[in-house]
Amino acid sequence: MKVDIGPVTRLEGHLSIETTIENNVITEAISKGEMFRGFEAFLKGRDPLDAQQITQRICGVCPYAHAIASSYAQENAYNLKVPPNGRILHNLIQGANHLYDYLLQFYQLAALDFIDVTAILGYKGNDTDLTTLRNWVKAEVSSDTSFPAAPFLPRLSGKYISDPDINVGALKHYIEALEIQKKANKASAIFGGKFPHATAIFPGGCTQNPSIDHIASYRSLITDVKDFIHKKYIPDLLAVAGGFPEYWEIGQSKGGFLSYGLLPFGPELDSKRLFAPGVLLNDKITPVDFDAIHEDVKYSNYSSPSGLKVRDGELTPSIHKKGAYSWVKAPRYQGEMIEVGPTARIMVDYLQNNNPKIRQLVDKFAGMAGIQAGNLNSVLGRHLCRAISAVVIADFLLEETERIDVKGPYMAEYNLPKSGEGFGATEASRGALLHYIKVENYKIEKYECVVPTTWNCSPKDDKDQPGALESALIGTTVENPKEQIEANRIVHSFDPCLGCAVH
Amino acid sequence: MINRREFLKMAACLSASFGISNFPEIVHAALKKIDPATIPKLIYLQGQSCTGCSISLLQAETPNAVSMITEYSKLSFHADLSATSGKQALDLIETYISGQAGEYFLAVEGTIPWGMPEACVIGGKPFAEYIDEAAKTMTGAIAIGTCATHGGIPAAEGNLTDAISLKEFYKRKKINPLLISIPGCPVHPDWVWKTIIDLVQVGVPELIEGQPKSFFSRKVHELCPRYHDFQQEIFAKKLGEKGCLFKLGCLGPDTHADCPTRWWNGGQTWCIDANAPCIGCASSQFASKKDFSFYRLFEQARIKTLENSK
């Protein structure tokens, strides 16, 4: 039987998944991106410096990643010499944005798949947040209002955590996380100008000067976020993992992994990064080659040619194309299906022995959970890799503030060219993000983006290989085929952003 | 006894002609105590959007987002926060839109692809159909962010879907609902939440061209703390310099918004305090024309090259 579990909520944008179920097992999954805007079309002919502003509007959840990728691409296209402070400020902005996003993803987007909200009704303590929440839920469910206690109810049927203390604790942290994510965003906004959609990020640096005043505020905010990560986020994640150990096996994607690397240590874009770049295919890591990427459109709503390389990308919508089921294109690396995101980022770094802290954390948590490194490719693995990323990034950001030269320049000197081209590659919180710009006669001639969820939620490619999420869903046992909370957990572990995927 | 919907419609007419301050005192008093049964239920739907406005709404400080969705409004549906999903979620939305779940406000983020309805679909049904049907049952609609109020980025010149704002959609459909427009890319959380508090405690706020007067009556430039620099002709010439940012392309003189006095992210900062020119994100013309760039640096480089070649 066929069941569409869309629209899938608690993710960014418009995603439906059409599943085929036989004997309570998903035998086929069709991932459908249902919204299209066409950024690459309307960027053409614009002023090149509009790009890091306009591309942020691809995604309001991770706008800073787009600003950074666009800035990198433009730095390459303009041959900018970036001052050390300029890169540090980029890092401070982007890193803080990752921290907010991990907290939002775990608590607001994913936790309600595991945590039993109704446990609040039995709360007997005297915490103000929790008693307020309890009284509100009580009043709601005893009223005659339609859909009481929304947006927390109704919910999908299935097994939730039974321990009332874990549930109530996680609900308290759900509320606290909403406060803490604001601190991470305040920190990034100090140098970004505002969040979402920063105006102060430019190719070559940032317009806000790194004064002691600004650095002190930034450090204070990030220290609070770091504290929450260690004391609340990681224990809550481990508690969820303890209640659902089968999810170390469930939701495994069946292809390779790609990471562009994140947070360069020096002003040059090819300097060593906190997270190393690389492609993991057939147990072998190789350096990333942008020309090995092409985008198929056999099952996408475009009539433009299939299999084009990034710099040759085209975009002609075709809404009634036979067989097409998604606005998302299908990027492939050397023809292979790829997962990007936290698991890719951590595995690619771990296997290259790049960052000792990552190795140490992976080994520590794997030991605690009794899993192998291979289990990082799973629902819980993706959540754990986000948490490990959070720990490593928070420490790095505090160290990075100490490298600022408060008297040094923080913006590159511009000598803007008539023409040029460049790639910009970084890691958004959701994974590998690539921008490409080509400038002709002071205008954008071509702009292309290959975005994390383009990889993860891609439809099948020209060889009929499923996308990463599709492959992770196939084989999953679902108790209630009509609702499929199990499939929802898998989808959420990828943290899809459909605004990004299609753009 | 008039019901809430009739009251709000009347209030909209009255406030348009007199301004809310002219309401009889008794009306204010009657509405000051919040009755949980009467706070507005929000069905929040996303068209061609980036979710940036939703994320911005979570950055609210006083009141914070949790208070806003429990004490002052009920967030009956929001795709990013609702526990419900799939068919269960669609049933919830349909119950409201078909008028079977009582009064509600429709909140819309993003544009509507007028020329290509398939470019935005929720559960197999074009987004446009939801907002068309909702117009028959909703108390009113709130357009959240510049996409929904004026078209913004998805409606930029050269877009392939003929993306339009909510106001334009209802105009083309010849529907005239109560519509409050709150621009900004993204919106400032206060602009939305405090409009909703107004709705709860007083009624429809005074609007100018559909936008709440209290936030959008003055230009960024008029309120700017660097207005003195402008008068003294102290201009930033390079990115990162202090002073008036006008010569770098600042659109503060063309943009109605109270950013200079409100600031962003809980008062932490705002664009011009970070030496970043205003790009006019709350303006009706935001990003609309290719030749109207945010900054003047490429234009200056082009002119310089021309002069050097003479």
**Nearest CA distance, A153 vs chain B (angstrom):** 6
B13 is catalytic: no
Q: What residue in B sits closest to A54 (Cα-Cα)?
A: B153
**Nearest CA distance, B202 vs chain A (angstrom):** 23
| Burial class of residue A44, CB neighbours in 10 A (0-12, 13-18, 19+) | middle
Task: Tell me the C-alpha distance between A416 and B301, whole Å.
Answer: 6
Give per-residue pLDDT as tens, A50-60. 999 999 999 99
B120 is catalytic: no
Give contacts of A186 with chain B, Cβ < 8 Å: 265-266, 268-269
Of B28, B50, B78, B188, catalytic:
B50
ipTM of predicted assembly, 2 dp: 0.98
B185–A57 C-beta distance less than 8 A = yes
Q: What residue in B sits closest to A441 (Cα-Cα)?
A: B302
A146–B101 C-beta distance less than 8 A = yes
**Partner residue facing B82 (CB), from A9, A35, A197:** A9
As a whole number of Å, the CA-based R_g of chain A is: 22
**Nearest CA distance, A448 vs chain B (angstrom):** 15
Task: Tell me the C-alpha distance between B79 and B209, whole Å.
Answer: 29
Number of Cβ within a 10 Å radius of residue B35: 8
3-state SS, B25-53, equals HHHHHHHHCCCHHHCCEEEEEECECCCHH
Task: Tell me the C-alpha distance between B138 and A476, whole Å.
Answer: 40
CA-to-CA separations, A405 to A84, A190, B181, in angstroms, rounded: 8, 17, 45
Task: Determine contact: B66 vs chain A, CB below 8 A.
Answer: yes
CA-to-CA separations, A398 to A15, A92, A165, A216, in angstroms, rounded: 37, 9, 33, 10
Give per-residue pLDDT as tens, A59-107. 999 999 999 999 999 999 999 999 999 999 999 999 999 999 999 999 9
pTM above 0.90, yes or no: yes
Of B120, B188, B244, B256, catalytic:
B244
pLDDT at residue number B34:
73
Interface of A with B in 345-364 (CB under 8 A): none
**Nearest CA distance, B124 vs chain A (angstrom):** 8
Would you report the helix, strand and coil content of chain A in percent, each value rounded to 5? Answer: 45, 20, 35
Helices (H), A309-467: 342-351, 356-369, 379-402, 452-456
Give contacts of B271 with chain A, Cβ < 8 Å: 193-194, 199-200
**Is the four-CA dihedral A299, A304, A305, A307 of positive or negative sign?**
negative
Give contacts of B156 with chain A, Cβ < 8 Å: 42, 54
Interface of B with A in 1-30 (CB under 8 A): none
Task: Determine contact: B91 vs chain A, CB below 8 A.
Answer: no
Eight-class DSSP state of A263:
E
Read off the pLDDT of each residue in A256-283 and give the average, rounded to a whole number.
97
pLDDT over 50 at A301, yes or no: yes
Helices (H), A21-163: 39-43, 51-54, 63-78, 84-103, 128-142
Q: What residue in B sits closest to A205 (Cα-Cα)?
A: B240
Task: Tell me the C-alpha distance between A26 and A156, whole Å.
Answer: 18
CA-to-CA separations, A34 to A2, A284, B44, B170, in angstroms, rounded: 19, 35, 17, 23
Show the low-confidence residues of chain B (pLDDT under 70): 1-33
Task: Tell me the C-alpha distance between A485 and A155, whole Å.
Answer: 9
A207–B64 C-beta distance less than 8 A = no
Give per-residue pLDDT as tens, A338-381. 999 999 999 999 999 999 999 999 999 999 999 998 999 999 99
Task: Tell me the C-alpha distance between A314 and A306, whole Å.
Answer: 9
Of B150, B188, B256, B259, catalytic:
B259
pLDDT at residue number B38:
79
Give per-residue pLDDT as tens, A434-486. 999 999 999 999 999 999 999 999 999 999 999 999 999 999 999 999 999 99
pLDDT at residue number A352:
97
**Partner residue facing A189 (CB), from B48, B84, B269:** B269
